[in-house]
Structure 1
Amino acid sequence: MNKHRLFLCSITLAIFLLSNCTQQKAVKHQMDAKHTICYTATDQRDTAWLKIDTANQHILGELTFTYQNGNHYEGLVKAVMKGDTLKGYYSFRLNKVDKWYKNPIALLKKENTLTMGIGEMMTLWGSGFFDKSVPIDYEKARFVFEQTGCAIN
């Protein structure tokens, strides 16, 4: 009886873990090429690429950072557009290691640019979020994304 229970728990856990892994990869296939906009940003020798689907208020996208020190961050953006501000989360991995991290993200839209804001982060139960009592600063931004042409790969 205990072996049967252990087997069922193991199978359930395996299915849960596999479904979470595929959710990270599915965003690329959910993006609509007709509504996809690409952006690039540079800060000295660091570069960032952003590709977002703007078909509706709930934004899906991909974001990659390549830093001079060799670190390479790549991941997915899930956010909501409210007025001129895009707020949500960036789920990413570092240097292609299969360990995922999640940070809040805020981008301010002005014409054909998106400015990545800097906010005071807090952590609760392992999840990061912006402290609502401290305004997000878009003036000190390292990355100002400019719209470029793109194609869905």
Structure 2
Amino acid sequence: MKKPVVFCLLMACIGFQSCKNDEKQKELEAAKAEGEKIVKTECYKAIYEKDTITLDLYTLKNGKISGDMVMKVANAAERTGEVAGEFHGDTLFVDYTFVDTANKNTKFKNPMALLKRDNQLILGNGKMQTTMGVTYLVKDKPIDFENVKYKFNSIHCE
């Protein structure tokens, strides 16, 4: 007689615990969704010779940055993708995940550093390293923001 009672109590406790976990999960998802609300949109364009890059940045409530970038570089396939990252001081560090028109089945991912100066974003040149298939900017090497091709000017968002 004791075994069925203990079993029922154990099952009831498990049921209550799973309900608590569902509530916690819903609270976490709601907090995440709240943090991912867009609070600011900025649009930029960089032109260098025959190259054009457009960048739409969305500042999220949690302080992170997301956005869209299209790179049209002369003599290369057009690249379309998304950026995601955050500011560290006046420098925006993002990962650019993209596909190009020549190879639509493969996604590529590159790190980028953009210095915010007045109404401009300057795409820096830094030493990159790939470890276990992940490319990143080398931390101990400085990023050059002076001798660059691409300086993004603020434009009106469409």
Q: The TM-score by the shorter chain falls in which range?
A: 0.7 to 0.9
Shift of 1:88: 2.1
Whole-angstrom distance in 1 between the partners of 2:37 and 2:157: 13
Whole-angstrom distance in 2 between the partners of 1:82 and 1:134: 16
Shift of 1:98: 2.7
Match 1:40 to one of 8, 23, 45: 45
RMSD: 1.6
In 2, are the aligned partners of 1:115 and 1:143 still within 8 Å (CA)? yes
Report matched runs for 1:101-140 at 5 Å: 101-140=108-147
Shift of 1:141: 1.4
Shift of 1:68: 1.7
* Larger of the two Rg values belongs to structure: 2
In 2, are the aligned partners of 1:53 and 1:59 still within 8 Å (CA)? yes
1:55-77 per-residue CA deviation (whole Å, 9 max, x = no partner) reads 44210011111012152011110
Q: Secondary structure at the match of 1:97?
A: strand
Is 1:78 the counterpart of 2:84? The answer is yes
- TM-score (structure 1 length as normaliser): 0.74
2:67 alignment partner in structure 1: 61
In 2, are the aligned partners of 1:64 and 1:74 still within 8 Å (CA)? yes
In 1, are the aligned partners of 2:60 and 2:66 still within 8 Å (CA)? no
Whole-angstrom distance in 2 between the partners of 1:31 and 1:136: 31
Report matched runs for 1:132-151 at 5 Å: 132-151=139-158
Percent pairwise identity = 33
Aligned partner of 1:128: which letter? T
List runs of 5+ in structure 2 lacking aligned partners: 1-35
1:52 alignment partner in structure 2: 57
List runs of 5+ in structure 1 lacking aligned partners: 1-29
Greater relative contact order (CA < 8 Å, ≥ 6 in sequence): 1
